[in-house]
Structure 1
Amino acid sequence: MTHLPEKLLTGYHNFMHGRFEVESDRYRRLAQEGQAPDTLVIACCDSRSAPETIFDAGPGELFVLRNVANLVPPYEPDGEFHATSAALEFAVQALKVKNIVVMGHGRCGGIKAALDPAMKPLSPGDFIGRWMSLLAPATEAVAGNSMMTTTERQTALERISIRYSIANLRTFPCVKILEDKGRLTIYGAWFDISTGELWVMNKETGDFERPEAG
């Protein structure tokens, strides 16, 4: 009997005799010196949209924060437990990242659940429902648009959620101060799982555009 699923053990074996073997010096250096990534990526938990894969990042290059629907809650120093806020605080204050990228993606399960009026809580705690209520005003506006198809409504809310998270990022004093000083830059991006296309948010207009190749 193994203590991990066989697929994971096989993957680990491949890692040790592949990437780790090739980059062992880099891993040792990271272990000794610590991490110093320039960029924090706030992404969804979805197994199909891993930032390290999408951006072809090596060990130590990205600090990744993943949660349902890549949401950032507003700044609330209320003594409760805030995993997303804690990771954000560590990235900005301790690691001193220079960039924050909020990356949403197509066919997001959290966004789909938020738009589905028939969706029932998955447990008595309704943790996902509570979490997705961060988008309630936008969800109600998009869901009520009968001129859009179901797919169009979902894509629209996926992208709006990125703007919401960016707005909430700026409620954190440490983020706002550093951004105003030009020491921190915030970006928005949306990844299409089916095509592999990455759309980047225009900082001036808020529109999502395909970046030029290369």
Structure 2
Amino acid sequence: MRVLLVEDERALAETLRRGLTNEGFVVDLAHDGVTGQWMATENPYDVIVLDIMLPGRNGYDVLRNLRELLVWAPALMLTAKDGEYDQTDAFELGADDYLTKPFSFIVLVARLRALVRRGAPQRPVTLTVGDLVLDPNTRQVSRGGRRVSVTAKEFAVLQFLMRHPGDVLSKGEILENVWDRAFDGSDNIVEVYIGYLRRKIDAAFGVRSLETVRGMGYRLVPATVAATGAPTT
């Protein structure tokens, strides 16, 4: 059972890591929200333990972003706060359980095992824009029933675009949600991957769906027959 523990109180995090390891869990640690979100998108976890008050990015934002990126690993929220409002926020964002500090370690273990047994809940399975279909469970993409082979990063970019069909998304928004704020390279990497995707989901089928809105960003719309002439870059 692999657990991601995102907790900025290092002494508490280490105590929990040792205890959970002794209980048979494999534990990865992150001490801030940005790192925790990146780890959750890069690795498969059976359950995520997520503190709400985190540096860099709070637990609410991390959870919201993970669910938007279709990361459905069960999440248990930890907080020093105690109130119905906080619990409501967490559950509406997609949390599966909630514990208030201080808590019993025995109760934490029992809750985690229950979440692992339950597994990731069934969420919306496929994303569809016109005849373009993305299945996050099988990590497959198809257009008009024909399979499209994409890399992991291309899949992540396309997934984010398909979560916001018709919306103009800036390079910064795509970079933050797919590469995360910890990425210190140029935002031109977004343009590179848009080009990769355009060749695979549009040019290969003679259609146009991934549009560049000059000075603003990119948007994905249902496909239309591509005009003849020089390809869009």
Bigger Cα Rg: 2
Relative contact order: is structure 1 or structure 2 higher (C-alpha 8 Å, sep ≥ 6)? Answer: 1
* TM-score (normalizing by structure 2): 0.27
Larger proportion of strand = 2
